[in-house]
Structure 1
Amino acid sequence: MILFSALTIAIVSVASTIASVRNAFAPIRKVLALLATPIVFLVSYLVPRDDSLWLFMAGQGDRFADNSKYLFLYCDCQPDVRNVWIGTDERIVAELREHGYEAYTRHSLAGRWRLLRAGYWFETHGPIAPAYAGRARLIHLTHGNYLKVMLEDHTRDWPWIVQVLVEFFFERRRRYVVTGSGPPLKNMQSMRGAPADRALMTGLPRNDALFDAFQDEELGLEESALAAVRDRAAEGPVLLYAPTYREGYGERNGVPLSELDLGLERLDSVLRSHDATLYISHHPATTFDRDLEGLDRVTVLESGGDLYPFLRECDVLVTDYSGIFYDFLLLDRPMVFFAPDLEVYLEDRDLYFDYEDHVPGTIATTPEAFVESVRAILEGADEHGDDRAAVREAFYDDPDGEACERVYHTVRDEA
């Protein structure tokens, strides 16, 4: 026993020493990596590209979600392209590989080689390993349709060198920018300066999931949470509250969610009387730390980062300034726009449209009005069907659930 304890202490001491040494050299490793970046970028121009090898990534590589996820799942069924998922989360990569998909982490040797060889990169927030992009053709699948002004339409106080790098690595090197027609196209051209010949007006791949389920769409999300929402939907109305991210570009927009009076106690009583449930889906970059103890019908939804299978189960969407409502339009279901900080928000952030004229649902600026708006909808009121139809017609050119197919055929035909 004494020998075992001594060995344990020795092993822990060695492990601690190794960790300390690694931490001490961490800054050096970062400097070396930075110095190597131009060399990697040069090599990435020299390595031959395979146009039948397509690389997919989402966000910062930390989730399997968004437009990249659904286009990846669609393209994996196509015989003439080889699809590879690249990410930073080892758990997600392992899950995809367990289900038969080709996936690698960005820092693995196999992942780096695919980054160098792939002819096409599909991304939503920019390449997660831009130094490897070289002569790869970048396809920007975007993050959605926007109500808030973004990028070049919004003041960005970035150092000039950062602006130059973003312009060189991202904006000017994209072969296509995926969007819709009408206002989405106009806004995308404005915020990104994208020429008309690089705008791919196919619609967004993730919206196909609102028309029909995808094979393996449960990958990358919390399956137990989805099962729970489906069970609740079978028993009564399901509402989803999806507020916007209020700290974009490192600045505060409006009042932080944690400081807003959401009227949840009053709302819980209304929900209970209608056998309804409200799920709160906070932005992935934020947390929701309200005490919900004692509330039977209000709960936090931990989706895993992908909301689209959940949206199909929702009867009502509650949001504020988030562009998620443009997606929900395709389901033609009621919406409530709960904007208690509307005046403050508009002082901090411009919108592409006049808020009160544009959003196709009841606008509630107080907790009391919010609760009453929900009550009215649960009792059958729906006064904004024509408004939804008008915005949907402006933003979608005959939506049919085949955006993935259009993106795939456009890129494949070019390749």
Structure 2
Amino acid sequence: MKAQSPQVSSLDERVVASTVSHRCTAPLGEDASVSAPAGLTVEERLAEIEGFNTNLSGMVESLVDTILHLRNHDLHKLQGRVAALEQELHVERCNRELAEVSRLHPKERIVVFVGGTYFGDNIKYAWLAACKSDDALGAELWFLPSNADQEAQVRSMGGRCLPHTHAEWTPDHLHTALAAAVVVISDHLLGANPYAAALLAGARQVQMWHGVSIKEIGYRNLPPLKHMSPRIARVLRTCGHFARFVGTAARHEPEWRRWFSFDGYAPVGYARNDVLTREPAGHDLLNVDEEAWQRAGEVQARGGRIFLYAPTFRDANRAQWILQVGIERVAKAIADAGDLLIVNMHPVEQPSVPEIAKSLPSVCFVAPRTDVYPLLTRTSVLITDYSSIMFDFLLLDRPVLLFRPDHHDYVTRSRKLFDAKLSVPPGPVATTAQALVDLIRRPAEPATARNARRALRDELHDHQHGGSADRLLSLLTDELAQACAAAEEPA
């Protein structure tokens, strides 16, 4: 597109400026209707008008310059937008072909683990277990990071890591992705690398997801069509099709099939929950907030309790909602008792933590993009709302409090709930900060609440004593065999 010349486009403005200036400076001395105000001679009055006209002319010139600047600025914005759209079209065209290349490309015994927004969750613990059992799998293991921090963390432990920036990929990196037999993910495959999903399209996908849900997700989290966008469409597209879907209980397969598309269901448990069955050490503590970990240890050592507040995110009023629910009152009550409140915001809202922390100086916030699961082992009481972390915490057999101060707003503006599994919740529900403080101050957990959460634990977890990562590795061995069967057949 050829842009219009600024010199040509400014012609009208220059004519307007010239005309206005001419009319304002026309001689007035010959006009009989003009007379000097009292105290001024005609010459003084004309000089005053001339000064006014000069100022006005300058203002008009300034206005013209401003109009030209704005036009040029808008033109640059438009050119930038066109360039961005051209790049998006380029990527889409490449991905359409690369996905087909990936499906046709011969597969090798290569497993790629895809990182999420931070190094943690099921991917971290599955990766650590796989690295320990590299020989047992008989496969080449690679990590696909979403950012520079993840790449540095994986490389620090000696792991094979693809570059987080696609511009740094070599032909060898490209071959690794196209030849991968299995890809392990725990979220939608929407990383920072715009080509990743296409390059891995031919691999058998093992979806670990990131928690048992009471929110409608996947195919049941649909917007009105008028709000449809390419981003939402891509999210829906990455709800399947998976070779295996990992869960925690066999009885929940129909529920997961409401939300995702997959061939086989594998209730082997979550790899991240293995750390709840041991004292975290070594690489378990990689990417854990050291300050929060140490503070929790110190309070625990002197007999204090650790309260971890881990709410899920809000689609509406994102991040700001926590400033409106009275957390400072809860923090004060906990501190006055000699205990510690730690708040772990959902990864979606963690970018706002530095700003939120300024308004809540008495609260200890977990550093953004860090792994919270080792902290659960030092947590005395979990406070949450709708987050799947409550179901993992059941394995520790410790009290859970549900804090839902904006419940009506959440279910009407954020997410519908699919909580038939919570006919009896894992703990009492508080809807105000004062009600939560009262629950915190009670001397002991009622037996009815303890029995309810134990019953829920038994319903949600077929495996309660660790070993989930080992069961996952057995699953990966099977997936490798299926993916490579054709290549391994004798000629």
TM-score normalized with structure 1 length: 0.82
Alignment of 1:14-413 (within 5 A): 28-50=86-108, 52-59=109-116, 62-78=117-133, 79=135, 80-106=138-164, 107=166, 108-109=169-170, 110-127=172-189, 128=191, 129-157=196-224, 159=228, 170-172=239-241, 174-182=242-250, 184-194=252-262, 198-212=264-278, 213=280, 215-235=282-302, 236-247=304-315, 252=316, 257-258=321-322, 260-265=324-329, 267-286=330-349, 287-288=352-353, 289-290=355-356, 296=362, 298-302=363-367, 304-348=369-413, 349-353=415-419, 357-376=423-442, 379-383=443-447, 384-413=449-478
For 2:388 and 2:317, locate their aligned partners in 1 and report how far apart those are by CA, in whole Å.
15
Task: Give 1:73 deviation, angstroms.
Answer: 0.4
**How far has the Cα of 1:244 moved from its partner?**
1.0
Does the 8 Å contact 1:245/1:283 carry over to 2?
Answer: yes
Counterpart residue type for residue 325 of structure 2: D
8 Å CA contact retained: 2:328, 2:360: no
CA gap 1:160/1:295 in 2 versus in 1, 3 angstroms: closer
More displaced 10-residue stretch of structure 1: 326-335 or 355-364: 355-364
Deviation at residue 27 of structure 1 after TM alignment: 5.3
The CA distance in 1 between the partners of 2:173 and 2:289, in whole Å, is 25
What one-letter code is carried by the residue in structure 2 that aligns with 1:274? A
Which residue identity is paired with 1:312?
Answer: T
Return closer, same or farther for 1:31/1:214 CA change in 2, 3 Å cut-off: farther
SS in 1 for 2:341: strand
Task: Determine what percentage of the aligned residue pairs are the same residue.
Answer: 24
Counterpart of 2:410 in 1: which secondary structure?
helix
Supply the distance in 2 between the matched residues of 1:257 and 1:156 (Cα, whole angstroms): 22
- The whole-number CA distance in structure 1 between the counterparts of 2:96 and 2:291 is 44
Distance 1:357 1:262, change over 3 A: farther
TM-score, structure 2 length as denominator? Answer: 0.70
Count the aligned residue pairs.
381
Structure 2: segments with no counterpart, 5+ residues: 1-76, 482-491
Structure 1 spans left out of the alignment, 5+ residues: 1-19
Q: Provide the rounded CA distance (Å) in 2 between the counterparts of 1:157 and 1:294.
A: 36
Query: In 1, distance between residues paired with 2:456 and 2:317?
Result: 25
Q: Deviations over 1:30-71 (max 9, x none)?
A: 443232222222222232211x21110133xx3211111111
1:141-181 CA distances to partner (integer Å, 9 max, x unpaired)?
Answer: 11110011212233334649878766665512x10000122
Deviation at 1:279, TM superposition (A): 0.7
Task: Assess if the C-alpha contact under 8 Å between 2:107 and 2:179 holds in 1.
Answer: yes
Do 2:188 and 2:235's aligned partners in 1 also have CA atoms closer than 8 Å? no
The answer (yes or no) to whether the contact 2:399–2:445 under 8 Å persists in 1 is: no
Residues 389 and 381 of structure 1, relative CA distance in 2, 3 Å threshold: closer
* Structure 1 residue 131, shift from structure 2 partner: 0.8
For the Cα contact (< 8 Å) 1:55–1:122, is it kept in 2? yes
**DSSP-derived class of the 1:73 partner:** helix
Greater helix proportion:
2
CA distance in 2, matches of 1:164, 1:299: 37
RMSD: 2.9
